[in-house]
Amino acid sequence: MKKELIDVPLIGPKIVKYLNQQRIYSIYDLVNYLPKSYSDFRVKSFDSLNHLETATIIGKISKSLEVTHKKVHIIHTSILTSDLHEVNLTIFGRSYLTKQLKLGDEVIVKGKYNLFYNEINVDYISTNLKVPDIKPIYQMENISDPKFSNIIKNIFLNHLVEIYETLPTKLIKKHNLMDRKLALKTMHLPYDYNELNDAYNRFKYEEAFLHLLKYHLSLAPRKLRGPINYDINWVKLQIKKLPYNLTKDQKEATNDIFIDYKQNYSTYRLIQGDVGTGKTFVTFIAALGMISAGYQVAFLAPTEILVRQHHENFKNHFPDIKSELLTSSIKNKNDILKKLETGDTKIIFGTHILSSDQTIFNNLGLAIIDEQHKFGVDLRDNLIKKVITGDTIYLSATPIPRSLSLTFFGDLDVSNIKEKPRNTTPIKSYLLDDKKFDKVISILKDTQIKFEQSFIVVPAIMDAGIKHSIHSIFTKLEPFFNSADLYVIHGQLKFEEIESIMDDFMNNPKGILLSTTIIEVGIDVKNATTIIIMGAEYFGLSQLHQLRGRVGRGNKSGSCYFVSSKTDTERLKLLLEHHDGFNLSLYDLKLRGPGVFSSITQSGQFNFKYLDLKTDLKILQELIPDVKYYKKNIDKYTYLKKLISNIVI
């Protein structure tokens, strides 16, 4: 007979009501309500205490409690003798302690130890010395932690719940994991920290495996196809039209792609590199190879500014190849779509419209997706489905650590481009306190005197709880500058407006452009030498590095100012020390997690409960071979199919 909550010892109608309020309706729900944290009551010796450490010691009250009233606080003080050492005790509130604690009582004390004052600021004190080493903290309203623990103890003691395994036996043995029932019991009733860590580890592996399996099953598989019969001699003739010789890294990335073309399955490659390393030219060469084999190419970019820049760049170097631009604001859209469907257009540059049903290709052989992390998974997949060969190349100027890209992009191959085509002087970078806006005014005025252009970037358009916005900064700039020299762009403007404003700005050698991060990619102003980034604490290191790359692109050196509160200076100092986007991406991973790198987070992929990708990436990597095996044999494991159906990606 199935047991209900009311059948559990210590649970009455009132407790059932409290549990239901927490969406706990069954005993199984109850054992899956895990502690939010644990309080460590392992007793330490006095000699082993460290300054400002929260620790537990046992000793005797060697001075009666004294009560001090300070405004609204009641403070108790006493002296504890532990291991022949005396230590001062300070206890806030808890007036009842004067009746409970007597001189000579042996007590257990937990609190923060201050070496300089030889004092413990007491969180917990009791004459009951039999406190478990680890106390689960549930923080459930209306039910105390001890009561909750006793309820759970009764459930396991009386075998009132059926707990089923979620992982294949083979996987559990391979990774030496706890079985699920024991792991759940241990999370509630840990014997020691080693056992608790083993239980926690079990749930990390479970979460990682099920999420990865779901994600890899959602990936489009590589298509089987014949080798791409490109005309290498024609491609080489085209390469000679480029303005400089390819760097070693560019040549290696190009070779990677053309080796991919020779395989009997589709290309699936990420090309990543820092600002100014010439990634785009590598993809242009990849496009030439596909065009020479009789296929069309689609180049997808996230903004109209960027896609127009790519199209202009391609046309300038390869004017004989029929290319088109397709965005939502293009007037002759129908003509472009017809030429694309007939195959007259060989390469098309466009925004999200390329993924829509109205865009039909004649013979699409390659999709190039720039700044892939700025697109949702569905939008990218809709374009990739139109590629008859399945060949896809991703581009990113926000380098994704190799370990992360290999883990979360399945069979994706990675080419890294670090070397820059021309020697460039690193942009001079500075930190500014956001309270000193007069310094910002001074920097902008100095730049104008030299007839050089400036960017000032803010994290928001309006003042929605963010200190720096287009509105607030424009208000501060307006009294100090000629309105003809101030330009403003942001994502809520129509593209025609942005294009017109950008044209005016580029033609004004004293221009100051106030913008959101819309200028992060695709803005190439040779005379721009200064960028000031307000509210730098709102951006990741990789994004700040990208923004920094907007200046110093001509013959003049560039300067970047990161304006932030003093509390963020330690993180921002990394930007002063590092000019390598790959290094900064690793710091970003450690500081902010992987959400910075992938749009998968848009659909909740990284909302892990147990797993921390800043420290547990090795678990994901370790599970990749298992994920590939169970993906291949998923039809044999129907229960896994059912389990992962509830995971949202």
In a domain? residue 331: yes
Last residue in a domain, options 383, 417, 451? 417
The model's pLDDT over 370-419, given as tens digits with 9 standing for 90+, comes to 875 555 566 777 888 899 999 999 887 766 665 565 555 556 788 888 87
Identify the band that residue 156 occupies on the pLDDT scale cut at 50, 70 and 90.
Answer: very high
110/124 Cα distance (integer angstroms): 5
Does residue 17 form part of some domain? no
Domain assignment present for 298: yes
Of residues 310, 326, 390, the one with CA closest to residue 358: 326
Domain co-membership, 335 together with 399? yes
Q: What pTM was estimated for this model as a whole?
A: 0.64
Taking the CA atoms of 80, 85, 86 and 92 in sequence, report the sign of the dihedral they define. negative
**Same domain? 435 vs 537:** yes
Last residue of a domain, one of 126, 156, 182: 126
265 shares its domain with 373? yes
Question: Is 626 part of any domain?
Answer: yes
Q: Which of 185-189, 518-522, 605-609, 642-646 has the lowest mean pLDDT?
A: 605-609
The pLDDT value recorded for residue 83 is 81
Residue 369 included in any domain: yes
Is the separation of the CB atoms in 271 and 394 below 8 Å? yes
Q: Of the segments 395-404, 594-603, 623-632, which one has the largest average pLDDT value? A: 623-632
| 563 shares a domain with 448 | yes
Residue 297 belongs to domain with CATH number: 3.40.50.300
| Domain count within the chain | 4
Residues 541, 623, single domain; the answer is no
More confident residue, 378 or 81: 81
CB 355 within 8 A of CB 379: yes
The contacts of residue 596 (CB under 8 Å, 6+ apart) are 398, 540, 542, 543, 588, 589
Same domain, 349 and 456: no
> Which among 390, 417, 444 is the end of a domain?
417
- At 603, the pLDDT band (50, 70, 90 cuts) reads very low
**Assigned domain for 144 exists:** no
- Here the tokens at position 112 are 């923060």
Q: Is residue 190 part of a domain?
A: yes
The string of pLDDT tens digits covering residues 587-598 is: 766 666 655 544
445 and 340 share a domain? no
The pLDDT of residue 601 is above 50: no
My answer on whether 333 and 195 are in the same domain is no
105, 242, 265, 69: which is closest to 254 by C-alpha?
A: 242
The stretch 456-470 carries a mean pLDDT of 82
Alpha carbon distance 401, 588 (integer Å): 10
Does 226 map to a domain? no
**pLDDT tens-digit map of 241-287:** 887 888 999 999 999 999 999 999 998 888 888 777 888 899 999 99
Task: Say how many C-beta atoms besides its own lie within 10 A of residue 319's C-beta.
Answer: 10
Q: Are residues 107 and 190 in the same domain?
A: no
- The pLDDT value recorded for residue 604 is 38
CATH number of the domain enclosing 115:
2.40.50.140
CA distances from 59 to 81, 85, 97 (A): 5, 9, 16
Q: Is 480 found in the same domain as 357?
A: no
| pLDDT (0 to 100) of residue 406 | 53
**Are 277 and 181 members of one domain?**
no
The pLDDT of residue 599 is above 50? no
On the question of pLDDT at 529 being above 70, the answer is yes
Show the domain range for 474: 428-578
Average pLDDT, the chain: 85
**584 pLDDT above the threshold of 90:** no
Same domain membership, residue 555 and residue 533: yes
